[in-house]
Amino acid sequence: MKPTDWTHVFKNYPGMWVVFKEDQKTVVSASKSAKKAVDEAKKLGVKIPFLFKVPVESLPYVGGFSSIE
Amino acid sequence: MKFTYKEIPISFSPSSKRKKSIYRPIISVILIRDKKLIGYEALIDSGSDYNVFDAAVAGVLGINISAGNKRQIAGLGGEKIKGYEHKLILKIAGKQYNSSVIFSKQIPPNSFGILGSQGFFDNFRLTFKYPKYIEIL
């Protein structure tokens, strides 16, 4: 399997919520608001909108969250 | 079920124009609550104790996040953030199960929704074949 190329997503939508089709590649709608992006996708006939928040800057990532309480 | 890695261009500093492709294990999750559902793309992170998602996703599902149990969490940077734990149904790789998610309004702008140990890893067997695929059974 080849990786799914999200270069276009990070280049065109930094800081925005995007909705993908189920192919996880095609951007259907984008907005600063998750709800607006979902509403727009539903208007366009997308049954299950897949949301993704595009990072503002695309930098190396080292994550991990642990619970304190 | 197998999922592809996502190819993402990164810069090594905000001022650098040089980009390099890296590959992250970001997969599709379906969240279900009170007959509402939404898909979400989240990063698999074995270093995270919990599933931690952006509060905006809870908003789309009509969840009042402050009604959940208050949680304080910390990441690598050491900065503490506040979140609220909620029970809901997750559907991943065709499997639907009850899980808990911490929703937070304070997820940093360069971060991701996270699938962590409790509520994700404890429900599946995972194989990472970097950068070709992640198999989730």
What confidence tens digit (pLDDT) does each residue in B60-116 have?
A: 999 999 999 999 988 766 678 899 999 999 999 999 999 999 999 998 888 899 999
Please give the model's pTM, rounded to 2 decimal places: 0.93
Say whether residue A1 is in contact with chain B using an 8 A CB cutoff: yes
Report chain A's mean pLDDT, rounded to a whole number: 90
The structure tokens listed for A19 are 């909705």
Other C-beta atoms lying within 10 Å of the C-beta of residue A45: 7
User: Buried b / exposed e across B66-81, counting CB within 10 Å, b at 16+?
Assistant: eebeebebebeeeeeb
Could you identify the residue written with the tokens 């698999």?
Answer: B44
Helix (H, G, I), strand (E, B) or coil at B123: helix
Total residues belonging to chain B: 137
Fold of B2-10+23-136: Cathepsin D, subunit A; domain 1 (2.40.70)
Average pLDDT value over all residues in chain B? 93
Tens-digit pLDDT profile for residues A23-55: 889 999 999 999 999 999 999 999 999 999 999
Average pLDDT rounded to a whole number, residues B8-35? 88
Please give the ipTM for the structure prediction: 0.91
User: Checking DSSP bridges between strand B52-54 and strand B95-104, what pairing results, if any?
Assistant: parallel
What residues of chain A lie within 8 A of the CB of B23, using their CB? 3
Contacts of A23 in chain B (CB under 8 A): none
**Per-position DSSP letters for A9-58, written without gaps between them:** HHHH-TT-EEEE-TTSS-EEEEESSHHHHHHHHHHTT-SS-EEEE--SS-
Residues of B with CB below 8 A from A33's CB? 56
Is the link from the previous residue into A14 a cis peptide, with omega within 30 of 0? no
Q: Name which of B113, A64, B57, A14 is nearest A6 in CA terms.
A: A14
pLDDT at residue A69 above 60?
Answer: no
What is the distance between the alpha carbons of residues B8 and A60, in angstroms, rounded to a whole number?
10
**A8 to chain B, closest Cα gap in Å:** 9
